[in-house]
Amino acid sequence: MQLLKTIKDANLKPSIEKKIIDIFSTKSIDFEHRFLELTENDLENLSKINSLIIENMDFLIDKFYDHLLEFKETKDIMLEKPGLVEHLRKVHTSYFKELFSLKYDDNYLALRFNTGLTHLNVNIPFNVFMGSYSYFLSLIIYFIKDELPKRGFSHKEILNIVNSIQKIINLDITLVIRAYYSKEINEKEKLGDDFIKRLSRIAEFRDEDTGAHIERMSYYCMIIAKHLGFDYDFQIDILEASPMHDIGKISIPDYVLLKPAKLTDDEFEIMKTHTVKGYDILSGSDSKIMKFGAEIALSHHERYDGYGYPNRLKGEDIPISGRICIV
């Protein structure tokens, strides 16, 4: 599928990639059609003008770019890179021809997704994107209102066609906006992932065994979650949250944490506090991953028989995340 290839080529984080694939799924698109009340009658209305629009697309694109280049803000963006205007003109010409081709298939969706990324990659602000789209919609409507009476269309027919144009463009804007922000969200989540990894490595600097253990343990948790039948989102959450399970060890004194011999009872009591300290460090955040990490930090040394620590939880009283990490 062209859409799937386009999404995968965007180099998104797996969890974001999955969300985008879900967003562009047949089920999701069907909902958008129903929500916007886009019906077969609308497609029939669009079929009455698709050849007219496509034949005059160059004229409409010329008007569109004349307008964009009138404003310093948009002109500066367009002229920042040599050849960008010509490239964007080709993209928009192809884009809007596809919009009125009445072929709303996989290739159409792939082009919508790719267009959203293109706008983001050339640093076109979202308000400029929305304003430009609104202006192009106005261009088409004014053009239709001028041309259709010459071709014998009644006032009622023209209103119905304009309404159908607005519906298909509203659907189109919805799809492009989702793609437009997918990469931005992806970058923010990658930044969050990087922060979590670096936070998790704090303990590594004080405990030589912790570094490899962190990475190995997090992947084991994801594999176990998968085999237990948890959904993909849960698998990714536990992969990202579990590396923080031992963050509380930064509070443990060196004479305990780094002691090569067996700990005394008193020293072991000190060591056990890393679970509560880890919870204290991670709790209180609005982040889902941080909350999950806090839960894991607190419960990953509990035992199914109730003889673990710090709260001596037993059986299913132990959060499932903790039970997975215990393994």
State the average pLDDT over residues 289-308.
94
**CA-wise closest residue to 243 among 186, 204, 206, 191:** 204
Q: Which residue has the higher pLDDT, 127 or 32?
A: 127
- CA–CA dist 320, 86 (Å, integer): 56
List the domains of the chain with CATH numbers: 2-192 (1.10.490.10), 201-326 (1.10.3210.10)
Each residue's pLDDT tens digit, 102-150:
777 777 777 777 777 776 666 777 777 778 888 888 999 999 999 999 9
Q: For residue 26, with 0-12 CB atoms within 10 Å meaning exposed, 13-18 middle and 19 or more buried, which class applies? A: exposed
Residue 114 to residues 68, 119, 173, 175, Cα–Cα distance (Å) = 21, 9, 13, 11
pLDDT at 212: 64
Beta carbons of 182 and 116 less than 8 angstroms apart: yes
Each residue's pLDDT tens digit, 34-71:
777 888 898 899 999 989 998 999 999 999 999 988 98
310 prior amide bond cis, ω within 30:
yes
**CA-wise closest residue to 33 among 145, 109, 144:** 109
List of residues 6+ apart from 215 with CB closer than 8 A: 243
pLDDT at 82: 84
- CA–CA dist 3, 21 (Å, integer): 9
Share of the chain above pLDDT 90, in %: 34
- CA–CA dist 187, 182 (Å, integer): 9
Each residue's pLDDT tens digit, 174-209:
777 776 666 666 666 666 666 776 666 666 666 655
Q: By 3-state DSSP, what share of the chain in percent is helix, strand and coil, each rounded to 5? A: 75, 0, 25
